[in-house]
Chain A
Amino acid sequence: MQTLIKTEAVSLTGLTKTFSTSRTKVQAVKGIDLQIPTGQIVAFLGPNGAGKTTTIDMILGLTKPTAGAAKILGLDPPQAVSSGRVSAVLQTGGLLRDMTVKETVTVIASMHGKSDRINEVMERTGLTRIAKRRVGKCSGGEQQRIKFALALLPDPDVLILDEPTAGMDVMARREFWSTMRSEATQGRTVIFATHYLEEAQNFAERTILMSQGKIVADGATAELRQLISGRTLSASFTSEDQGEQAATFDQSVQITERNGSRFAFQCQNSDRFAAALLGEYQAYDLEISSPSLEDAFIQLTKDAS
């Protein structure tokens, strides 16, 4: 018989961070409890200022928590970092413009004691071709790829990415995630922060929503998706009665806003409802929109409370 003790990849208990200046105190992270099992791919979703980066900094030991603790694979953050079991793609800066790509990778590899992995990692992240280019001359997407390569050097069990695609155009984002998908998912635990709903949907099996330093929702990404998959339709009617009548189209239709004879609805089957609005209910100025991240937040914070 063998007893397997399963350690969580990341475990946060009562994690709190307060930044104090001489005049004000800002509570960036307000007591987070979280368990992430090994092998899971998790998205931290939230707007700017939600506390994602501060939380990640504490997981990595770059910032000391005011209260509570973070453990990675049962280890304290500095231990986990120095043993190379966790690594990260940081959000801002982190590269020196006048170094070449190859120099950057070589230097960081030597600091990890993994100089044998330089060529392999550069090959796999597509950096070999731009090895001699100076970092300052690389595009935003290429710079993120360099940072990604640096994070892969120690061959970590837990990989943390803090808004890895911030500032990239759509094509570069897509390319980044396809490299990511092939390189980082072989049994690794991946945690990434993003404010793109789409990235969470496409890549993470679990999504944690953060807002104002707290976790407002935590669950399978599919559930979250369902929650906010409906469309919002707004239209003007010739009379208010007609608008109210339209709301009875089917069970999923709900009035979310009304302003005189202009109504906003939420519904599941937006195509059929839109056709009916224009035909049956003589609506005009029809607008169809998918819910934004903000809508999702409002929805989810409402559900959570």
Chain B
Amino acid sequence: MLARLRGPLTDRRAGLLLGAPAVAVVLIVLAMLVFVAIQAWPTFQHNGLGWLGDGPAPTGGTVDQQLGSMVEGGEAPPPSAYAIKAWPLIFGTALTTVLSIAIGIVVSVLAAIFIVDLAPRRVRNVVVPVVRLLAAVPSVIYGLIGILVLVPFVNDNLISEGQRQSVQNVIPLTGPGLLVSVVLLTLMVTPIMIALITDALESVPRGWREGALALGVTQWRATMSVAVKAIRPAIVAAAVLASARALGEAIMLSMVSGSNGYAPRIQDGLIFLFEPLRPLAATIAENTESINSAALKSTLYAFAFLLLVSCFVLSLGSYFIKRSLRAQGAR
């Protein structure tokens, strides 16, 4: 078989030979969508779309208690075992993603301007590898640093005894939570965004910026009003890529989010930042060991399906935003 590859192959055969892996990749992705949807179906069947919502499930209890009781349902659970209201998990996912992307956009645009425009060559030669390095650090290492360094720091220095007591009947404040999660998530997604935005900023034609400079604008103004405006599609693309990563980050967030199916309440003020949560992806990662229980299995696949659909919608949305921006003359 391999010996024949060395010999001459007709164009047609070569096309088939190389087309096979290409088609295989397509089939794998389709299989992924189909399999996850099939496994998720019982959850939708028993709860409708209601499981996405808030409030107590028909069987009562918090999300974590509902997930726990699913494990007891075993391999052939009664229909009532499927009952779940997953809003706290969904809210936790959305909250961490939106916050880290919002901070990430500002940071990465500033960093890209710094790299392309401001930094002297020597500083630049340091910053560019540093960004690449930050992008390469595995998420579990961020998680380890988070849980062993940042979480104790937040617990000892930032949370006061009064804050702890004010919510002690609702939720324990022990350090892991929204603040540490968002800080680390931002640190994880920013390097990807910086890489994309820097590339785009570098490809803005020199003439555009010089045109602005010739009109007497300062260098900063020229960058902000011409270059950054021109690369809006790239910023959108970077934000979407980064939010796909943030949505799906399971391990790091399972380590530092406090792993508690609780929806942080903004009306709690500063305490909001310290309240624990647990996003969908982390919930999947933590519960796969008990996947033999049919109800839990279907629920976890429903979470996975939700993540897949969100990523898909995001990239579709970015496609249309990019297209309309390009139609306005952005690059």
Partners in one complex: no
A contacts, CB < 8 Å to B: none
